[in-house]
Structure 1
């Protein structure tokens, strides 16, 4: 990773951001985004795991074209990740990551014929963060309006995490 401060901020932000808009490239070249729950993050190297069904468009897209983008957001922070995804049939890893949330979508469990994993290796990460409370953010916005100075947020880019 490029800067240890950016690495730490990214790691801290991702700890609290569980749901991503997972964007793939379809057969006709358009982008398609769906919400997916991140199961695990290992930022050295940067890998994110998702439990999914084999019979979905996004799983078929990943099997054909590995380029993906993931976007996470909260009320005061945003993370955009780009990387390469692959469908991984690994029952041991699937059992390790399995949870009741996954069970709601895949009731047959990790041993089911339709259960699989998608692993994303992150090539680039970019984040924006407005540290502090909502009140602090509101005060900063008002200050920006009154002074004419741009609103300042914490921004960083991490290449090849």
Structure 2
């Protein structure tokens, strides 16, 4: 097992857009759904995703902020990030992570009623690529 720096894993993540975000429901079941980082790929240990206040994801995070992100990439790359999620509703904070592509889902941009940004702060990052595997120290 060869540990990598956060920068080394972040460089590999630049090519990855879709993560499976896993939350735990009130009944203790795990629930996963694909989320796009919409090109916000300068990974520093935090991930950002947009959704609606009414989404089940928001309810799950309110009840238990412990989440997992999983990524799959070329050359047999797999990354698993365990962390804590926070729900951000302040438009000023959302603005730094907004890209024009989000207009497809949120027709009024940051003024779309009920928009919420999910921030996942990594606590543990594990990766696998071919025969290599390791963990990033956070």
With the shorter chain as reference, the TM-score category is 0.7 to 0.9
Contact 1:40–1:97 at 8 Å: present in 2 too? no
Name structure 1 gaps, 5 residues minimum. Answer: 131-152
Deviates more, 1:53-62 or 1:101-110: 101-110
When normalised by structure 2's length, the TM-score is 0.87
Deviations 1:113-156 (A, max 9, x none): 211101111000001124xxxxxxxxxxxxxxxxxxxxxx2211
| Per-residue deviation, 1:96 | 2.5
Contact 1:41–1:47 at 8 Å: present in 2 too? no
Q: Which structure has the bigger radius of gyration?
A: 1
| 1:61 aligned residue | 60
| 2:132 aligned residue | 154
- Cα RMSD after superposing both structures: 1.8
Give the secondary-structure state (helix, strand or coil) at the position aligned to 1:155. Answer: strand
Instruction: Specify which structure has the higher proportion of helix.
Output: 1
Name structure 2 gaps, 5 residues minimum. Answer: none
Taking a change above 3 Å as real, the CA distance of residues 32 and 41 of structure 1, as seen in their structure-2 partners, is farther
| 1:148 aligned residue | none
| Per-residue deviation, 1:13 | 1.4
Deviations 1:47-94 (A, max 9, x none): 111111111001111111100000000232110000000101120122
Superposition misfits of 4+ residues, deviation over 3 angstroms: 39-42
Counting only pairs closer than 5 Å after superposition, residues 1-161 of structure 1 correspond to structure 2 as: 5-38=4-37, 39-43=40-44, 46-76=45-75, 77-130=77-130, 153-159=131-137, 161=138
- Paired residues, what number? 134
When normalised by structure 1's length, the TM-score is 0.76
